[in-house]
Amino acid sequence: MDSVIAFSLGVLVIAVGLILSIALHEWGHYFPAKKFGVYVSQFMIGFGPTLFSRRSGETEVGIKAFPLGGYVAMAGMYAPSPGERSGGVSTTGFLDKVVGEEPLLSPDQIPADIDQRSFYRLPLHQRITIMLGGPFMNLFIAIVLYGVVLVGFGVPTVSLTVGSVSECVLAATETRTECLASDPAAPGASAGVLPGDRIIALEGQELQSWFTLTDIIRQSPGEPLVLTVERQAQMYDLTLTPLLTQRYAFDERGEVSLDDAGNPIVVAVGFVGISSAIESQRQTLTSVGPAVWDNIVGVGRVIATLPQRMVDVAQAAFGAEERDPNGPLSVVGVGRIAGEIAAVESLALRDRIAGLIGIIASLNVALFVFNLVPLLPLDGGHIAVALYEGVKRKIYLLTGKADPGPVNASRLVPLTLIVIALLGGMSLLLMYADIVNPVRLFS
């Protein structure tokens, strides 16, 4: 029952984190829009019937029945079509008409004073600022949360603390795990190394990395080595002699190397039979930027290869293929992974909390990158329209032509509907795959 409760709490944490991320995304649009004087009629979190709302000045602020989404409704997000006197009120959401609500104001219902405060009438840089406000709010959240995880909690890292000590030496190709009387004793145990010892130096040279220690041990079979360890605030010098034994060879990625026939490559190396404890090590602030950037690049790579990845997801959903753990997930899949992390008793509580915060940070990176895709109704689509309009006006000005006026982006509505249909279809496919063949981290 405890694991069920922990799983449910993990899902709840991610749901609340996603809702707050969406709310702050929309606030990123709302704040500059109000600063620039745009008429904002609604600021809503979710879609469907309104559960709660109140007025804040001229803006209705509320929460809807299905909170996975949100929008800001602004006057003139689309320039008026020929014959129309205004652009009406549209939203930053996927659909302009909200289920269960009165229709938003149409072009012929917009008073003249409100029409003068339309989005499309703003200078180019202000329109881009408003549309970038949402994605960059997600980027800001991701940076803060990555900072909390990396600097506050730390990253699980191979440490110089001994995690376990083998009693005997078994060849890498041996299938059994228990020791027999005929097996040679492991040098580490014979030298008196104990779990929990902190390794300070080898042969009098201070060590900074466990990997430096293992490299020297592997290259020194039969050579006595003096290992300095700290145990209960006392220093001890222990002499151990690595035994020559067989171990798998590893490549630069840390994976077992294979020969031309696909068999693991075995090499003769020195071995003492001690392994490292995994500890959370706090990182510096300078590590936050590269971590966020790597996440951005990873999400961008997924989006760039999305057609093939969706084919892979379909094959996994309706066939026997395994899911790619680095592939796209729906909110169902993300929630499941969060629940698994929260329910793993072998992880320390701080590591589980850090894992959940890391998921929310990654979700915000995904929202940042995805919303910058230059297709309507995404924020990047509105930015692309504004940039096209600015370039077009500059060309007309340089060639001595009259101002062509604002671009009527409503002509792209058919393409927008296709994008919405594709995104909806992909979401349904991902949800189905995350139910019947989910990505699992611990099983």
pLDDT digits (tens, 9 = 90+) for 327-341: 888 888 899 889 888
State residue 239's pLDDT score.
Answer: 92
pTM: 0.79
Average pLDDT over residues 106-127: 80
Mean pLDDT of the chain: 85
* 26 tagged catalytic: yes
Of 441 and 189, more confident: 189
State residue 14's pLDDT score.
Answer: 92
Residue appearing with tokens 């997000």: 77
Q: Sorting pLDDT into bands at 50, 70 and 90, what band is 254?
A: low
Report strand pairing: 234-240 vs 266-271: unpaired
Residue 100 has pLDDT above 50, yes or no: no
Residue 443 has pLDDT above 70, yes or no: no
Residue 42 has pLDDT above 80, yes or no: yes
Question: Which residues are CB-neighbours of 263 under 8 A, at least 6 positions away?
Answer: none
Q: Sorting pLDDT into bands at 50, 70 and 90, what band is 36?
A: very high
Residue appearing with tokens 């230059």: 374
State residue 201's pLDDT score.
Answer: 93
State residue 199's pLDDT score.
Answer: 93
Average pLDDT over residues 358-367: 95
DSSP notation for 186-221 = PHHHHHT--TTPEEEEETTEEPS-HHHHHHHHHT-T
Residue 214 has pLDDT above 80, yes or no: yes
- Report the alpha-carbon distance of residue 323 to residue 311 in Å, rounded: 11
Of 95 and 61, more confident: 61
Residue 135 has pLDDT above 60, yes or no: yes
Residue 362 has pLDDT above 90, yes or no: yes
Average pLDDT over residues 139-147: 97
Candidates 75, 179, 187, 195; CA nearest to 127 is 75
State residue 321's pLDDT score.
Answer: 80
For the stretch 155-199, pLDDT in tens is 888 888 998 888 887 766 666 778 888 888 888 988 999 999 999
Residue appearing with tokens 């010098």: 237
Best mean pLDDT range from 97-111, 198-212, 355-369, 399-413: 355-369
Q: Which of 26, 101, 279, 322 is an active site residue?
A: 26
The alpha-helical segments, DSSP class H, found in 235-348 are: 288-304, 306-318, 331-343
Fold category of 156-281 in CATH: Pdz3 Domain (2.30.42)
Q: Sorting pLDDT into bands at 50, 70 and 90, what band is 110?
A: low
Q: Which part of the chain is CATH 2.30.42.10?
A: 156-281
The two structure tokens encoding residue 403: 């101002």
Of 291 and 400, more confident: 291
Of 52 and 248, more confident: 52
